[in-house]
């Protein structure tokens, strides 16, 4: 399977992408994680990307496309993938199409997670991340057993700069401006399916699997 997950920040795409990747034994390719790793390690790419991420803006296309091209060229990416956080603009979508068509491996399906704006704001502004292992928590929905400490490794928890409420709202505005045009792009190509991103993790996952594996 070669699948793209679309939706606003906080829609749960990352969680669902990991479950799909495990189901199909293919990699989850999350450009946000790739960029944050570059930021953590202080690479030239990370330093360039950080100022965009902290401001809630999109990282330039040429940087993201280069990362994705390198990742898809790895052996495990050749048998399928779940793309999470890419593409985010029509230009990125066209570049991805060209890359996959050149390899004879076009996309199978694109799934859009629909949500009202206030739900992503509530989800993200309460999110906490472990500095050590990267596990996610939420202040009210899934708090750690010990406040400020990861249940798994004991690492300290923190709120990412791009999860602060003001930045989340800017990210949603950027999504509406730059990413929503992808809906029409993929609908015209007959690849788009829409599901609700609200509800429990298991309910959303069941809808997602049905949307991808069921008949078009």
Catalytic residue at 18? no
Q: Which of 19, 88, 109, 123 is catalytic?
A: 88
Dist. CA 124–CA 75, nearest whole Å: 33
Per residue in 188-213, is it b (16+ CB within 10 Å) or e — as a string? eeebbbbbebeeeeeebbebbeebbe
Q: Pick the catalytic residue: 160, 169, 170, 187?
A: 160
Q: Which of 100, 106, 109, 96 is nearest to 6 (CA)?
A: 109
Active-site entry in 36, 50, 123, 171 = 171
Whether residue 69 lies in the annotated active site = no
Q: Is 170 designated active site?
A: no
78 is catalytic: no
Give me the catalytic one of 13, 19, 109, 123.
13
Query: The tokens of 141 are what?
Result: 């929905």
Among 49, 2, 63, 52, residue whose Cα is nearest residue 29: 2
Dmax over CA atoms of the chain, in Å, equals 50
Residues tagged active-site: 13, 88, 127, 160, 171
């Amino acid at each position: 399977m070669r699948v793209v997950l679309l939706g606003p920040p906080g829609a749960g795409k990352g969680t669902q992408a990991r479950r799909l990747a495990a189901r199909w034994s293919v990699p989850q390719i999350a450009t946000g994680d790739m960029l944050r790793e570059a930021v953590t390690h202080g690479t030239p790419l990370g330093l360039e990307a950080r100022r965009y991420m902290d401001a809630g803006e999109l990282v330039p296309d040429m940087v993201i496309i280069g990362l994705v091209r390198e990742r898809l060229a790895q052996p495990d990416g050749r048998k399928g993938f779940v793309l999470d956080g890419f593409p985010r603009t029509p230009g990125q979508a066209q570049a991805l199409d060209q890359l996959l068509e050149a390899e004879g491996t076009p996309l199978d399906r694109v799934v859009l997670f629909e949500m009202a704006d206030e739900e992503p704001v509530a989800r993200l502004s309460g999110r906490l991340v472990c500095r050590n292992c990267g596990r996610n928590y939420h202040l009210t929905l899934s708090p750690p057993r010990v406040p400020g400490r990861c249940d798994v490794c004991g690492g300290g928890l923190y709120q990412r700069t791009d999860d602060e409420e003001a930045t989340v709202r800017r990210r949603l505005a950027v999504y509406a401006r730059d990413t929503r045009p992808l809906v029409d792009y993929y609908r015209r190509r007959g690849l788009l399916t829409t599901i609700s991103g609200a509800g429990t993790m298991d309910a959303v996952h069941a809808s997602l699997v049905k949307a991808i594996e069921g008949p078009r």
